[in-house]
Protein backbone atom coordinates (compact mmCIF):
# COMPACT_ATOMS: atom_id res chain seq x y z
CA UNK A 1 0.00 0.00 0.00
CA UNK A 2 2.71 2.46 0.93
CA UNK A 3 4.78 1.45 -2.05
CA UNK A 4 1.95 2.32 -4.47
CA UNK A 5 1.46 5.70 -2.82
CA UNK A 6 5.18 6.38 -3.03
CA UNK A 7 5.27 5.49 -6.73
CA UNK A 8 2.35 7.81 -7.38
CA UNK A 9 4.10 10.69 -5.62
CA UNK A 10 7.28 10.06 -7.61
CA UNK A 11 5.32 10.02 -10.88
CA UNK A 12 3.53 13.25 -9.91
CA UNK A 13 6.85 14.90 -9.10
CA UNK A 14 8.32 13.82 -12.43
CA UNK A 15 5.27 15.10 -14.29
CA UNK A 16 5.36 18.39 -12.35
CA UNK A 17 9.04 18.91 -13.09
CA UNK A 18 8.47 18.06 -16.76
CA UNK A 19 5.64 20.58 -16.96
CA UNK A 20 7.81 23.17 -15.20
CA UNK A 21 10.69 22.56 -17.62
CA UNK A 22 8.32 22.86 -20.60
CA UNK A 23 6.95 26.15 -19.25
CA UNK A 24 10.47 27.52 -18.75
CA UNK A 25 11.40 26.56 -22.31
CA UNK A 26 8.21 28.16 -23.66
CA UNK A 27 8.90 31.35 -21.68
CA UNK A 28 12.47 31.45 -22.99
CA UNK A 29 11.30 30.99 -26.57
CA UNK A 30 8.75 33.78 -26.16
CA UNK A 31 11.32 36.15 -24.73
CA UNK A 32 13.83 35.20 -27.43
CA UNK A 33 11.35 36.01 -30.20
CA UNK A 34 10.48 39.24 -28.43
CA UNK A 35 14.17 40.13 -28.39
CA UNK A 36 14.46 39.35 -32.09
CA UNK A 37 11.52 41.60 -32.88
CA UNK A 38 12.99 44.41 -30.79
CA UNK A 39 16.36 43.94 -32.49
CA UNK A 40 14.74 44.07 -35.93
CA UNK A 41 12.96 47.31 -35.03
CA UNK A 42 16.22 48.86 -33.81
CA UNK A 43 18.04 47.82 -36.99
CA UNK A 44 15.27 49.23 -39.18
CA UNK A 45 15.31 52.51 -37.27
CA UNK A 46 19.09 52.68 -37.68
CA UNK A 47 18.85 52.09 -41.42
CA UNK A 48 16.09 54.70 -41.67
CA UNK A 49 18.22 57.26 -39.82
CA UNK A 50 21.24 56.60 -42.06
CA UNK A 51 19.15 56.89 -45.24
CA UNK A 52 17.52 60.09 -43.96
CA UNK A 53 20.93 61.54 -43.09
CA UNK A 54 22.29 60.87 -46.61
CA UNK A 55 19.06 61.95 -48.31
CA UNK A 56 19.10 65.46 -46.84
- The set of residues, in sequence order, having a beta carbon less than 8 Å from that of 34 and lying 6+ positions away, is none
Host domain of residue 50: 2-55
Q: What is the pLDDT of residue 18?
A: 74
Split into its structural domains, the chain has a count of 1
Q: For each of the chain's 56 residues, which pLDDT tens digit applies?
A: 445 556 667 666 666 777 777 777 777 666 666 667 778 899 999 999 999 998 87
Give me the numbers of helices (H) and strands (E) for the chain, helices first please: 1, 0
Read off the pTM.
Answer: 0.44
Amino acid sequence: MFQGMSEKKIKDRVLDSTAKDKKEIDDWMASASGGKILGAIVVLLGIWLVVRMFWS
